[in-house]
């Protein structure tokens, strides 16, 4: 692979929408806040848009010309990790369970938003004045954490919050860098609101050589559930999942030797998947994306093969099989309150998928290298 070219900060289209997408609370199973933003943003541009039985937004934008065009599905998931309120204690504090994959240690002391109205709260944490040496060494278990929404009684808390409501970390989207063009984005739910923003841009832009079947999916974080039925409904010829993937690329401590398990790296372009825990990426699509990147001077990296998964894991097994590939923006500290992603990596992913669809030659014209 070519050495990374100098990274020019890029402008961000739809910046206000990206901010709204990141800050919306749309925990798996309750994606309404993002769904409303998506439907409003794409409706003027698409040839059809529906919300399916599970809540995914399925939109089609026809390709150029009159002949028969292949249907290519692009999926990005609307949902994010978070929690569900499971009980309200006598003092008005909320008990909760995690939704999706969150390290229990992430919660303590963090501000959160609860419910569709984003009721503010904070996850309980004992002050260090009161912690003896032993307790400071102990990981606090989820069962011992509470959400404090500042209510003065159980009754008051019940008037603000209903059991079963979902919530997540309270973080605003912040642009990092000096001058007009930010270098990085910091915020919650970049996984996968960056993918959602990309898919919106694709629908708003030029028509492609294929029909674009856009699936803004639900419940990805709890088992790729929305994508499964979305793929069945679209019955496409091929599919791409646009997602975010962790970057554990900070240098290791001096005594740890070479970092061999970084998954992906910031600043190296979008990450294409050879294989993850759910999918062997279709080799024709992989070759096509890598060749398209090369032809357009876009740097890409191969995500380290291993675990994890994207909507492609459900899509490729749908019906009689659908060739699928994932393309992710690398992000540090994903599934926490403040992920960091490079603007240039994200914009390169938009350029790459756009270039790939603009000249889509048909699945059977593709060859694995």
Regarding 171 and contact with another protein (CB under 8 A), the answer is no
Site size for another protein, by CB under 8 A?
Answer: 20
Token digits for 61?
């934008």
Regarding 137 and contact with another protein (CB under 8 A), the answer is no
Select from 43-51, 112-120, 245-253, 255-263 the region that touches another protein (CB under 8 A): 255-263
**Of 31, 80, 201, 220, catalytic:** 220
* Residue at token pair 């759910």: 278
Q: How far is the CB of 216 from another protein (least distance, A)?
A: 24
Site string for another protein, 271-290 (x = CB under 8 A): ---xx----x--x-------
Q: How far is the CB of 108 from another protein (least distance, A)?
A: 29
Nearer to another protein, 32 or 305 (CB): 305
Regarding 321 and contact with another protein (CB under 8 A), the answer is yes
Q: Judge whether 220 counts as a catalytic residue.
A: yes
Q: In this structure, is the dihedral angle defined by the CA atoms of residues 29, 32, 33 and 34, taken in order, positive or negative?
A: positive
Out of 198, 245, 318, 326, the residue judged to bind another protein by CB under 8 A: 318
Token digits for 59?
């939109």
Q: How far is the CB of 339 from another protein (least distance, A)?
A: 23
Q: Give the count of beta carbons closer than 10 Å to the beta carbon of residue 305.
A: 14
Q: Quick one: which of 36, 62, 364 has its CA closest to 213?
A: 62
Out of 323, 331, 336, 337, the residue judged to bind another protein by CB under 8 A: 323
Regarding 316 and contact with another protein (CB under 8 A), the answer is yes
Residues 288-307 within binding reach of another protein (CB under 8 A): 302, 304-306
Regarding 317 and contact with another protein (CB under 8 A), the answer is yes
Nearer to another protein, 121 or 281 (CB): 281
Cα–Cα distance measured from residue 110 to residue 310, given in angstroms and rounded to the nearest whole number: 27
Complete DSSP assignment for 81-132: -EEEEEEE-TTSPEEEEEESS--GGGTTT-EEEETTTTEEEEE----GGG--
Regarding 367 and contact with another protein (CB under 8 A), the answer is no
The span from the first CA to the last CA of the chain, in angstroms, equals 15
Helix (H) / strand (E) element for 58: namely strand 57-61
Regarding 71 and contact with another protein (CB under 8 A), the answer is no
Q: Return all residues near 111 (Cβ < 8 A) that are at least 6 apart.
A: 120, 121, 122, 169, 170, 171, 337
Cα–Cα distance measured from residue 205 to residue 203, given in angstroms and rounded to the nearest whole number: 6
Nearer to another protein, 47 or 235 (CB): 235
Active site residues: 220
Per CB under 8 A, residues contacting another protein are 1, 258, 260-261, 274-275, 280, 283, 302, 304-306, 316-323
């Amino acid at each position: 692979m070519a050495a990374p070219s100098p990274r020019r900060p890029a402008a961000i289209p739809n910046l206000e929408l990206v901010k709204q997408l990141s800050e919306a609370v749309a925990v798996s199973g309750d994606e309404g806040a993002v769904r409303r933003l998506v439907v409003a943003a794409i409706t003027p541009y698409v040839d059809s848009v529906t919300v399916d039985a599970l809540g995914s937004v399925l939109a089609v934008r026809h390709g150029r010309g009159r002949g028969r065009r292949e249907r290519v599905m692009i999926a990005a998931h609307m949902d994010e990790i978070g929690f569900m309120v499971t009980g309200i204690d006598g003092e008005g504090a909320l008990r909760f369970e995690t939704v999706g994959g969150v390290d229990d240690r992430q919660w303590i002391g963090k501000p959160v938003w609860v419910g569709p109205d984003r009721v503010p709260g904070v996850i309980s944490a004992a002050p260090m004045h009161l912690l003896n040496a032993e307790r400071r060494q102990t990981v606090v278990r989820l069962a011992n954490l509470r959400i404090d929404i500042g209510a003065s009684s159980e009754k008051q808390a019940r008037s603000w919050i209903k059991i079963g409501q979902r919530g997540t970390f309270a973080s605003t989207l912040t642009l990092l860098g000096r001058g007009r063009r930010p270098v990085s984005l910091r915020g919650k739910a970049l996984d996968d609101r960056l993918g959602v923003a990309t898919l919106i841009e694709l629908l708003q832009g030029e028509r492609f050589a294929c029909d674009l079947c856009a699936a803004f999916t639900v419940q990805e974080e709890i088992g790729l559930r929305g994508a499964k039925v979305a793929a069945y409904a679209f019955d496409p010829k091929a599919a791409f999942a646009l997602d975010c993937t962790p970057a554990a690329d900070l240098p290791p401590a001096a005594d740890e030797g070479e970092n061999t398990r970084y998954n992906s790296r910031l600043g190296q372009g979008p990450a294409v998947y050879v294989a993850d825990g759910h999918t062997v990426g279709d080799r024709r699509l992989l070759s096509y994306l890598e060749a398209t990147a090369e032809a357009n001077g876009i740097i890409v990296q191969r995500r380290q093969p291993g675990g994890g998964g994207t909507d492609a894991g459900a899509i490729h097994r749908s019906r009689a099989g659908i060739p699928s590939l994932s393309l992710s923006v690398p992000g540090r500290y994903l599934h926490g309150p403040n992920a960091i992603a490079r603007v240039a990596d994200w914009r390169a992913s938009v350029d790459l998928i756009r270039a790939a669809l603009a000249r889509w030659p048909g699945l059977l014209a593709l060859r694995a290298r």
